[in-house]
Structure 1
Amino acid sequence: MEEKLQRPHKNPGGTLQSMAWYALVAACIKLLLIPSYHSTDFEVHRNWLALTHSLPLSQWYSDETSPWTLDYPPFFAYFERFLSIFANLIDPTIVNLRQGLNYNSNTVIYFQRMTVIVSDLCLFFALYRLTAKLDSGKRNLIWVLVASSPGLFIVDHVHFQYNGFLLGILLLSLSFLEEGRDLMGGFVFAVLLCFKHLFAVAAPVYFVFLLSRFCRGGFLKGFGRVLVMGAVVALVFAAAFGPFVYYGQIQQVIHRMFPFGRGLCHAYWAPNFWVFYIILDKGLAFLLRNLGFNIQAPAASFTGGLVGDSSPFAILPSITPLTTFIMVVLAISPALIKACRNPRPEMITRWVAYAYTCGFIFGWHVHEKASLHFVIPLAIVAMQSLEDAKHYFLLSIVSSYSLFPLLFEAQEYPIKVLLLLLHSIVMWLAFSAHSTKNGVINATAPANKGRDFVIGWIGKIYLLGLLVVEIWGQFLHPYLLGSRFPFVPLMLISVYCAFGIMYSWVWQLKRIIRSS
């Protein structure tokens, strides 16, 4: 019989005040990271503050003053416009579109860092709602997993983005669906899509789930509910896109949001299925050239570090956006079938996390940062069984390590290593303290507590391999090869982490297929 975690029950002991302590501790760590490195995304968002503040709405998606043009949906543009009000009060130069690129005074650094920290309150509030009916042990464990997530620290609070805020909206939507408040869940998800369209990967799951659950009943009742849900979603999109339709800018908005010319892969390969496809193509080309065949190398290099179109292959067929779309939909289909046959609210978070995993594995121009879309929801799923907890332990470490190349400066190296080590230790101690042969406990543990949270020998060898990859890339490669083959360390990280992420996808698929 499968080992299970203790079934959830209502417990009002966990309060909003206790969640505030987790948010406060996380905020203190984030404050310490303020002086650290920030990527070009920092200037991207500063420019968005400036253009939304300085230009009329009709010019937001056509302005090219900076190469970092606005390419998020309108609600995020409105969010930047809201933040620009305060930026203008603190330092008017922040929102001066003519300031030029790379304005990085202390005022703009502190202001933008603080906006991410404050907006993370959305994530913590969503976690509070999503875990309100769990017992205090599980609730606190989930809070610890998310609050200590090195991925969020690395991407949002060093590299610089607003993933915590956006994931908070996603979890808020899931909290409504788990409560049976389907209309509110659909409404919040529609809002999320108007903040960041990349979350649309889970839209098929939402559509099937809501159609099978909210819109069930007789023909008239079901049709009426379809109209109600459709009207709610339409109102959200009208509020977001309506002004741009009015100004005749909607085609420009869509063009900015879907720049398919960027190519199949990002400059740093996200650890997904396409890593193996690229390696196979290169291996076949190398083999055939050595056998005397005239094989021309493709014009674009996958290891050149460019963000441009990197789709051509030497041997294998080139991949189109339509191909990746079909593969993602096919991969998600088992979850869609389950959601259609038995739309259980307690399964929606698992299905949505799986959908984002499929998008990461087979999607077009996937960024490594997109792993957060499924890792954070899976922290909630980790409470459903001991096997889920073990899976999350491995996945969280692998996905966090895959983000290491984002912080490439020497001064940030101890930070990312320390964040991952602390998170791994916290996970191990927390899961061990709560695991027993019969599941997870909340208060008094038996004498053998922790002995059942055991990672198999394959998992241990794989985690040891992460250490080997890091030692090679960080120390041995520069010492032995110097500046030769500079792409090899990044390629090793992508390929090795891709094995772990692909395993996670297969594991999640098996769990969904076997679920009732």
Structure 2
Amino acid sequence: MEDQNPSISTSKLLLWFFSISACVKLLLIPSYHSTDFEVHRHWLALTRSLPLSNWYSDETSPWTLDYPPFFAYFERSLSLLAHLVDPRIVDIYNGLEYKANSVIYFQRISVILSDLFLVYGVYRLTRNLEVKRRDLMWVLIVWSPGLVIVDHIHFQYNGFLLGWLLLSISCLQEGKDLMGGFLFAVLLCFKHLFAVAAPVYFVYLLRHYCWKGLVRGFGRLSLLGAVVVAVFAAAYGPFIYRGQIQQVIHRMFPFGRGLCHAYWAPNFWVFYIILDKVLTFFLRRLGFSIQIPAASFTGGLVGDSSPFAVLPRVTPATTFIMVLLALSPCLIKAWRNPRPGLIARWISYAYTCGFLFGWHVHEKAALHFVIPLAIVAVQSLEDAKHYFMLSIVSCYSLFPLLYEAQEYPIKVLLLVLHSILMWLGFSALFNEESATTAANKKKGTQFKTKGSSEKGGFALGWVGKSYLFGLLIVEIWGQFLHPYFLGDKLPFVPLMLISIYCGLGIMYSWIWQLSRILEST
């Protein structure tokens, strides 16, 4: 007997996926957590103990509030529950680094439960997909090892935020442009770093939703503008009313932190830094008097690490222009042919551009393009091969976040298991489609399944295999050979090698995504 309501069974099965991942995350509660754990605990205390007018001016902790107001309201809502669990969690005068079991369990579980928003976003995206593609997308997103490493060990709320993004994408794919724009505006008021995709949203919505003739188009543009203004008014209105908007903006955009983070994200600026150091070395050898700046890129500090010895200094404006230039081909495509089916690809590409060329990029920002690219990965064989490599590279680039010995087997196991699941899932999907295509061709049927290949199913070429094998060599050197041969000398080298090698992979991904966008019709 067939299920009378397949959407109910689909949601139940997805909840099973979530429950399995939640069990794993519960086991990880005692694991290492970064300073971000204390950052969010302080934000709980700040939003609970102080009036709203002091949220963006408080300096009782070095971890000042630097997220947009909706995230502050989110922390405020969590603080109401935290106060019931342990009042000391939300006592701003309790002192820093409060590490009682109550706060550890509360904050860990709050991240796990907030992932239900991610699950709902995945459900909206996959409810109309065929079973194999649906299940595979669940594996790629709900069981993402990168999300586990960043959110549930290192500690953040990316799953919750990415849930808003996936909901917005699902609405755009369904033709609900106004709701998609509304959800994206809400997301920006939770975390402003998602604004890298704003040009794509603007061009797509202007062309697809508003470009409907003079009168009708003006009405739609006015309605869309009113929705966005209403969202931002709800978020920032109380601070504008109190004359504090400049303080809020100053906290949200601390450009004094420098071009690169303490651990270099694997992006374009890694190669710029290396080129500057190589040129400095050779020019000094040739007798040129070159003064090396005091601020070092290898010092491991989050400071104004932007000076260069030879190459021109990079400013925030420079990175902004480079991101826009990298985005421009995508924006042109979105304007000429605003297809809902391509919106996930365009948004993922936008976040890739922001990651590669942006200012003070964190390695964790790779999640912004890896997660939405899972939507694209199940669409064709070539996209699947690209995603398989990119997912492994981006996850491996997060390894330095977990530097304690006890987490080493955990992060390795997470990556290996997910790689196996991806391989099995992509093989099951595309090898069967390839076999179907071959059988139909043999029968003379003029039929070809989307994503299939006449040359065979899911398999990597020798270049992809060689590159992934190189990751193993980089890891063996950094984890075992470097300590054995060099001891404590040149401690930055293993991290530098990870950044450079993963940067090559992500640069390739950016070029590959751009070529796919240019080829699309």
TM-score (structure 2 length as normaliser)? 0.95
Quickly say closer, same or farther: Cα 1:440–1:202, change in 2 above 3 A. Answer: farther
Q: Give the alignment partner of residue 313 of structure 1, picking from 295, 308, 314.
A: 308
Provide, for residues 450-486 of structure 1, a one-character-per-residue CA deviation record: whole Å limited to 9, x for no partner.
Answer: 9521101011110010000000000000000000000
- Give 1:414's aligned residue: 409
Provide, for residues 6-29 of structure 1, a one-character-per-residue CA deviation record: whole Å limited to 9, x for no partner.
Answer: xxxx98586211111111111011
Tell me, yes or no, if structure 1 residue 456 matches structure 2 residue 461: yes
Tell me, yes or no, if structure 1 residue 80 matches structure 2 residue 46: no
Higher relative contact order (CA 8 A, sep 6+): 1
- Give 2:443's aligned residue: none
Q: Give the alignment partner of residue 223 of structure 2, picking from 216, 220, 228.
A: 228
Counterpart CA distance in 2 for 1:61 and 1:411 is 37
- Give 2:184's aligned residue: 189
Q: Where in structure 1 are there 5+ consecutive unaligned residues?
A: 1-9
Quickly say closer, same or farther: Cα 1:437–1:19, change in 2 above 3 A. Answer: closer
How many Å apart are 1:405 and its aligned residue?
0.2
Counterpart CA distance in 2 for 1:236 and 1:205 is 19
Letter in 1 for 2:359: W
Contact 2:126 2:134 in 1 (8 A): yes
Contact 1:150 1:400 in 2 (8 A): yes
Tell me, yes or no, if structure 1 residue 283 matches structure 2 residue 278: yes
Question: What secondary structure does 2:210 align onto?
Answer: coil
Contact 2:17 2:138 in 1 (8 A): yes
How many Å apart are 1:217 and its aligned residue?
1.3
Tell me, yes or no, if structure 1 residue 512 matches structure 2 residue 510: no
How many Å apart are 1:147 and its aligned residue?
2.1
How many Å apart are 1:437 and its aligned residue?
7.5
How many Å apart are 1:389 and its aligned residue?
0.3
Question: What secondary structure does 1:308 align onto?
Answer: coil
Q: Where in structure 2 are there 5+ consecutive unaligned residues?
A: 440-451
How many Å apart are 1:218 and its aligned residue?
1.3
- Give 2:166's aligned residue: 171
Counterpart CA distance in 2 for 1:41 and 1:117 is 16
Provide, for residues 182-213 of structure 1, a one-character-per-residue CA deviation record: whole Å limited to 9, x for no partner.
Answer: 00000000000000000000000000000001
Tell me, yes or no, if structure 1 residue 298 matches structure 2 residue 293: yes
Tell me, yes or no, if structure 1 residue 20 matches structure 2 residue 25: no
Counterpart CA distance in 1 for 2:368 and 2:142 is 15
Counterpart CA distance in 2 for 1:297 and 1:360 is 27
Letter in 2 for 1:464: F
Tell me, yes or no, if structure 1 residue 158 matches structure 2 residue 153: yes
Question: What secondary structure does 2:98 align onto?
Answer: coil
- Identify which range, 72-81 or 332-341, moves more after superposition: 332-341
Contact 1:205 1:352 in 2 (8 A): yes
Tell me, yes or no, if structure 1 residue 103 matches structure 2 residue 108: no
Q: Give the alignment partner of residue 251 of structure 1, picking from 246, 249, 252.
A: 246
- Give 1:4's aligned residue: none
Map 1:234-273; keep pairs closer than 5 Å: 234-273=229-268
- Give 1:379's aligned residue: 374
Map 1:425-440; keep pairs closer than 5 Å: 425-436=420-431, 438=433
Contact 1:141 1:430 in 2 (8 A): yes
Quickly say closer, same or farther: Cα 1:222–1:395, change in 2 above 3 A. Answer: same
Letter in 2 for 1:48: W
Provide, for residues 258-287 of structure 1, a one-character-per-residue CA deviation record: whole Å limited to 9, x for no partner.
Answer: 000001000100000000000000000000
Letter in 1 for 2:168: S
Quickly say closer, same or farther: Cα 1:27–1:168, change in 2 above 3 A. Answer: same
Provide, for residues 128-175 of structure 1, a one-character-per-residue CA deviation record: whole Å limited to 9, x for no partner.
Answer: 001111111100010011122110000000000000000000000000
Letter in 2 for 1:485: L
Tell me, yes or no, if structure 1 residue 497 matches structure 2 residue 479: no
Letter in 1 for 2:21: A
Provide, for residues 361-419 of structure 1, a one-character-per-residue CA deviation record: whole Å limited to 9, x for no partner.
Answer: 00000000000000000111001110000000000000000000000000000000000
Contact 2:326 2:353 in 1 (8 A): yes
Letter in 2 for 1:512: I
- Give 2:471's aligned residue: 466
Tell me, yes or no, if structure 1 residue 339 matches structure 2 residue 351: no
Contact 1:126 1:169 in 2 (8 A): yes
Number of aligned positions between the proteins = 505
- Give 1:485's aligned residue: 490
- Give 1:206's aligned residue: 201
Provide, for residues 31-88 of structure 1, a one-character-per-residue CA deviation record: whole Å limited to 9, x for no partner.
Answer: 0110000000000000000000000000000000000000000000000000000000
How many Å apart are 1:111 and its aligned residue?
0.1
Q: RMSD of the TM alignment (CA)?
A: 1.9
Contact 2:434 2:456 in 1 (8 A): no
TM-score (structure 1 length as normaliser)? 0.96
How many Å apart are 1:440 and its aligned residue?
9.3
- Give 1:50's aligned residue: 45
Letter in 2 for 1:61: Y
Structure 1 residue ranges, 4+ long, deviating more than 6 angstroms after superposition: none
Contact 1:178 1:346 in 2 (8 A): yes
Contact 1:432 1:451 in 2 (8 A): no
Quickly say closer, same or farther: Cα 1:431–1:13, change in 2 above 3 A. Answer: farther
Quickly say closer, same or farther: Cα 1:28–1:57, change in 2 above 3 A. Answer: same
Letter in 1 for 2:322: M
Quickly say closer, same or farther: Cα 1:375–1:41, change in 2 above 3 A. Answer: same
Counterpart CA distance in 1 for 2:350 and 2:95 is 40
Counterpart CA distance in 2 for 1:299 and 1:202 is 35
Question: What secondary structure does 1:101 align onto?
Answer: coil
Counterpart CA distance in 1 for 2:432 and 2:52 is 59
- Give 1:144's aligned residue: 139
How many Å apart are 1:436 and its aligned residue?
2.7
Tell me, yes or no, if structure 1 residue 32 matches structure 2 residue 27: yes
